[in-house]
Amino acid sequence: MPVHDCMNVRVNHGACNQAASPASPAPAATATVYPQSSFPTTCAEARSDCWIMIIVGHSCTPFLVDASILKEASPILCTKITMAEREGPDVSFDGATVLTLYDDDVVAIQNLFSILHGDDWPIITDADGLYKLAVVAGKYECVGHISLAADHFFNQMADAAHNSAALWKLLAAACILKHSVWFQEFSSRVAQEHQGSFLSLVKETGDGFLGLRLGLAMEEKRNLGRPRRNGVLCLDCFENATTTFAPNAFCRTCTGPLVCFMPPLGGPTYRAAIPSWTWPGVSARDLAATRYSRHTDIVLPTNPATGGSLFHPTADGPS
């Protein structure tokens, strides 16, 4: 598919349809249109009307993606795509529906789309790239859909990150992506590695509120010297703290291992179905062999039906 010219693109921001102001064409290296084969899906083979052209960044980098996948993954993108579809196709892009995301980082969006489509493209080699991926995933409320991929990158970078700036970016990414164990790991390492004020690290965080909150937690850890087995504090205590970041005596994450569910024979355990992102370095096989402190009658089907919840609603279990 040829590279499209962004000079006279008719753009849609999810709320209006207007002519884009003339701009210099993006360099060929950043204006690549990714063909349908780059994001393989069953929907692509069955329907041609499920594809949408998304223009990202001020470089007008276009991505041809599956609208149905993005709608399912992100409620925010679902709203934007639906409004763009109501405006109708754009003749400048071979009749495809066009949506623009001018304020987003091109590489981060490309990695996000690749993960959501199950593509092999995403290559994140540093903490800054993972942090930017976390930011766009949090912005579009699709954090849960990239947890496994993010854990893969955390595993790759954990041993290689030695300076406090890189560890800080990984800590912020773990917080945004709700990875509790990695949050504990990197918070402990930041408190140990960084010398002096945390203000210099706070400035590296795009989200000022999150950066200041992390900085306060690190200062409290260092000043009070509270020993913690898995880091400065757990993610739940960090997010729910009001007067202090000290561990909550009633927090299950602080007081013991994660609560697990064990079904009767006939289906895999819920704990075993959780890959290694739950505990870094622990495989699903290892988790399946551990003893459980709690039992329920919840069964995870061997071949669950498509859509809906895998679990029956219970008063004290997942739903």
Q: What is the pLDDT of residues 191-249, one digit of tens each?
A: 888 777 878 787 777 777 788 888 888 777 777 665 544 445 677 777 776 666 766 66
Name residue, tokens 């884009």: 20
From 96, 98, 64, 93, select the one nearest 81 (Cα to Cα). 98
From 138, 111, 141, 146, select the one nearest 38 (Cα to Cα). 111
Give the model confidence (pLDDT) of 104-121 as tens digits. 999 999 999 999 988 876
Euclidean distance between CA atoms 187 and 3, whole angstroms: 44
Task: Output the six-digit token pair for 205.
Answer: 């965080």
Higher pLDDT residue, 17 or 203?
A: 203
24 DSSP assignment:
P
Please state which of the ranges 167-181, 187-201, 231-245, 250-264 shows the lowest mean pLDDT: 250-264
CB atoms within 10 A of CB 275: 14
What's the pLDDT at 35? 40
Euclidean distance between CA atoms 190 and 131, whole angstroms: 16
Euclidean distance between CA atoms 111 and 117, whole angstroms: 10
φ, ψ for residue 83 (rounded to 5)?
-70, -35
Euclidean distance between CA atoms 64 and 58, whole angstroms: 17
Entry field: residues in the chain: 319
Residue type, 221: K
pTM, entire model:
0.62
From 90, 263, 101, 275, select the one nearest 179 (Cα to Cα). 275
Task: Output the six-digit token pair for 221.
Answer: 């850890």
From 48, 32, 31, 38, select the one nearest 116 (Cα to Cα). 38
Is the pLDDT assigned to residue 278 strictly greater than 60?
Answer: no
